[in-house]
């Protein structure tokens, strides 16, 4: 039995660049933008950082391999810097590294920074994925929306939801995120979109239309973490957010190769969620969580995730979504910052961006989009495809919660 990470590590500073089509910036510029904000927030000098983790998922599009570009861009002091990559869960992976370093005592203060520069490809959407020389022998050239669109087919078949009803619920997911993104100054997509426009948008990968897909963005986000004692010594006691749980679950081939998976759930999310709730001491997440930031790469992903996080009953996510349970004035506001959908999805930064919003909300700094008295928030960061993926879950709360 492990003791878990709960309350062992405090976040003392966070930063997030403006997300979007940052044609004016390199990845290095985006990192520096996020870092300067976080360092000021933490009230520390660069020299006080003992170790850093860089999350950067697509180095061939951004700044190349190794952690060197981050160390150079931030002028880190020849400290250990580790580059991590776990597809779209990369940001959470970077945070895990920094948090565990602090918890172990290996580092007094650690930095997690995630970045992605996706808009130097010359086209919209992500480039083709390379599955390596073996899988490419028989695997279709699957796009990200195509991978996740299959969830809709399987979910509809499993729960006997007709395609039109499911599409309508998915449209509400996106509509809500556009409403939220409109009031977030750092969000990539800030335009409200009506349901009808969402429903009638051009098809990308059936049944996902244009507005069922998240923004492909440039951006960076970062966190500075330390122990509660160090946080207190820095005078940060009233302005820290505690890590309550940090879990990761990775597919082992069952979904792709064994008939036990129905194609309508994300097995790893369920596994990571159970462990995270246990680690954080949460018995009823639907009652306990003040807000959530989930991996809404596509509307159907968010919808299915509500069940995988045990927030909606099996088969009832569409009803909860349509009832507005996950709207900003609902039972559990989801994506109050706009989510991947509208804040944007610079892959390596996303897990940290989610944590940034929870942190900002918990500290009451969210301005126009501030929720009333949130105390506990969850991030869910998913990399890969439904049949083979990485799920990262973080739970963050105010001290004493």
Partner 1 sequence: MVKGDETTGITSFGVYIPSMRLQRKALANEVGWINPALNAYGSGVRAICDFDEDVITMAVEAVRHCNDAQALGEISAIVAASTTFPFTDRLNASVVAPAAGLSDSVQAVDIASTQRAGVSAFRVAERLCAVDGASRQVLCVAADRRRGRPGSLVEMTSADAAAAFLFGNENVIARVVAHKVSTVDFVDHYRRANEAYEYGWEERWIRDEGYRKIAPPVLTSVMEAAGISAEDIDHFIFSSTIRGVAAGLAKAIDIRDDAVRDDFQDVMGEAGAAHPLLMLADTLCAAGAGEKILIAGFGQGCEAMVLETTPLIESVGVRHGVRALAQSDHQIDLPFIRYLSFNGQLDPDFGPRAETDRKTALSAAYRHANEVARLIAGKCEKCGTVQFPKAKNCVNPNCGHEGEQTDHALAQESAIVKTVTTDWLGFSRNPPNRYGMVEFESGARMIMNFTSALDEPPVGSEVSMVYRIQDFDPYRKYHRYSWKARTCVTPYNGEKK
Which stretch in 197-205, 310-318, 341-349, 376-384 sits in contact with partner 1 by CB under 8 A?
A: 197-205
Q: Are 224 and 39 in contact (CB under 8 A)?
A: yes
Q: Would you say 130 or 313 has its CB closer to partner 1? A: 130
Q: What is the dihedral of CA 280, 281, 285, 287, to 10 degrees?
A: -120
Evaluate whether 77 touches 284 at the Cβ level (below 8 Å): no
- Phi, psi of 16, deg, nearest 5: -150, 130
Q: Is residue 60 involved in binding partner 1 (CB under 8 A)? A: no
**Are 362 and 324 spatial neighbours (Cβ–Cβ below 8 Å)?**
no
345 is annotated as an active-site residue: yes
**Interface with partner 1 by CB under 8 A: which range of 22-30, 88-96, 117-125, 288-296?**
117-125
Nearer to partner 1, 142 or 371 (CB): 142
Tokens found for residue 251? 């597919």
Number of residues counted as binding partner 1 (CB under 8 A)? 45
Q: Where are the beta strands (DSSP E) in 33-163?
A: 51-55, 81-84, 109-116
Helix (H) or strand (E) holding 259: none
- Binder among 52, 94, 101, 204 for partner 1 (CB under 8 A): 204
Residue 106 is a binding residue for partner 1 (CB under 8 A): no
Q: Taking the C-alpha atoms of 260, 263, 269 and 275 in order, what is their torsion angle to the nearest 10 degrees?
A: -20
Smallest gap from residue 136 Cβ to partner 1 (A)? 7
Query: Binding partner 1 by CB under 8 A: which of 79, 199, 256, 319?
Result: 256
Cα–Cα distance measured from residue 132 to residue 118, given in angstroms and rounded to the nearest whole number: 21
Please identify which residue in the block is written with the tokens 């968010």: 302
Catalytic one of 16, 25, 56, 88: 88
Q: Which residues contact 163 (CB under 8 A, 6 or more apart)?
A: 152, 156, 207
Closest CB 154 distance from partner 1, rounded Å? 5
Tell how strand 51-55 and strand 81-84 pair up. Answer: parallel
Candidate residues 43, 228, 263, 330; the one interacting with partner 1 per rule CB under 8 A: 263
Phi, psi of 183 (to 5 degrees): -105, 15
Applying CB under 8 A, which of residues 205, 266, 366, 398 lies at the interface with partner 1?
Answer: 205
Choice between 112 and 204, CB closer to partner 1:
204
Q: Judged by CB, which is closer to partner 1: 97, or 209?
A: 209
Return the range that interacts with partner 1 (CB under 8 A); candidates 10-18, 185-193, 228-236, 258-266: 258-266
How near is the Cβ of 156 to partner 1 at its closest, in Å? 7
Stretch that binds partner 1, among 141-149, 181-189, 280-288, 328-336 (CB under 8 A): 141-149
Largest CA distance in the chain: 58
Annotated catalytic residue within 172, 188, 295, 345: 345
What's the min distance (Å) between Cβ of 56 and partner 1?
21
Would you say 64 or 124 has its CB closer to partner 1? 124
Residue 88 annotated to the active site: yes
Q: Between vectors from CA 299 to CA 255 and to CA 220, what angle results, nearest 5°?
A: 95
Q: Judged by CB under 8 A, does residue 170 bind partner 1?
A: no
Smallest gap from residue 309 Cβ to partner 1 (A): 21
Out of 65, 157, 200, 364, which residue is the one contacting partner 1 (CB under 8 A)? Answer: 157
120 touching partner 1, by CB under 8 A: no
CA distances from residue 391 to 34, 94, 186, 269 in whole angstroms, order as listed: 24, 13, 25, 5
Binding-site string for partner 1 from residue 235 to residue 254, where x marks contact by CB under 8 A and - marks none: -----------------xxx
d(CA 345, CA 88): 9
202: Cβ contacts below 8 Å, ≥ 6 apart = 209, 210
Strands 203-205 and 219-226: unpaired
322 touching partner 1, by CB under 8 A? no
Q: How far apart are CA 69 and CA 66, in angstroms?
A: 7
Q: Which of 128, 283, 287, 329 binds partner 1 (CB under 8 A)?
A: 128
Please, which residue, 136 or 373, has the CB nearer to partner 1?
A: 136
Which residues belong to the active site?
Answer: 88, 345
Residues lying near partner 1 in the complex (CB under 8 A): 121-123, 125, 127-128, 130, 133-134, 136-143, 145-146, 149-154, 156-157, 202-206, 208, 252-254, 256-260, 262-263, 386-387
């Amino acid at each position: 039995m492990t003791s878990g990470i709960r309350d062992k590590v405090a976040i003392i500073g966070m930063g997030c660049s403006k997300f979007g089509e940052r044609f004016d910036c390199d990845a290095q510029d985006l990192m520096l933008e996020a870092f300067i904000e976080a360092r000021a927030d933490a009230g520390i000098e660069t020299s006080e950082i003992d170790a850093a983790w860089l999350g950067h998922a697509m180095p061939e599009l951004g700044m190349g391999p190794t952690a060197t570009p981050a160390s150079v861009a931030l002028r880190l002091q020849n400290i250990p810097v580790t580059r991590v990559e776990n597809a779209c869960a990369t940001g959470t992976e970077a945070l895990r590294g920094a948090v565990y370093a602090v918890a172990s005592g290996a580092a007094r203060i650690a930095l997690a920074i995630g970045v992605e520069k996706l808009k130097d490809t010359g086209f919209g959407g992500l480039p083709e994925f390379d599955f390596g020389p073996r899988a490419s022998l028989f695997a279709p050239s699957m796009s990200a929306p195509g991978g996740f669109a299959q969830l809709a087919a399987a979910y509809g078949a499993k729960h006997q939801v007709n395609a039109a009803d499911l599409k309508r619920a998915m449209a509400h997911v996106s509509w809500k995120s556009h409403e939220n993104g409109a009031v977030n100054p750092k969000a990539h997509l800030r335009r409200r979109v009506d349901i009808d426009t969402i429903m009638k948008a051009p098809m990308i990968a059936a049944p996902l239309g244009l507005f069922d897909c998240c923004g492909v963005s440039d951006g960076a986000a970062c966190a500075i973490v330390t122990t509660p004692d160090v946080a207190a010594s820095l005078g940060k006691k009233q302005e820290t957010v505690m890590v309550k749980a940090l879990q990761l679950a990775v597919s082992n081939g069952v979904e792709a190769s064994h008939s036990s998976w129905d194609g309508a759930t994300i097995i790893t999310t369920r596994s990571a969620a159970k462990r995270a709730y246990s680690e954080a001491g949460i018995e009823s997440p639907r009652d306990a969580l003040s807000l959530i930031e989930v991996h809404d790469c596509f509307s159907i992903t968010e919808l299915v995730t509500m069940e995988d996080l045990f927030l909606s009953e099996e088969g009832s996510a569409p009803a909860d979504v349509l009832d507005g349970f996950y709207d900003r004035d609902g039972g559990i506001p989801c994506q109050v910052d706009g989510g991947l959908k509208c804040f944007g999805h610079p892959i390596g930064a996303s897990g940290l961006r989610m944590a940034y919003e929870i942190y900002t909300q918990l500290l009451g700094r969210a301005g126009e989009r501030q929720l009333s008295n949130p105390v506990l928030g969850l991030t869910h960061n998913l990399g890969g495809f439904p049949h083979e993926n990485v799920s990262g879950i973080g739970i963050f709360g105010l001290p004493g919660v």
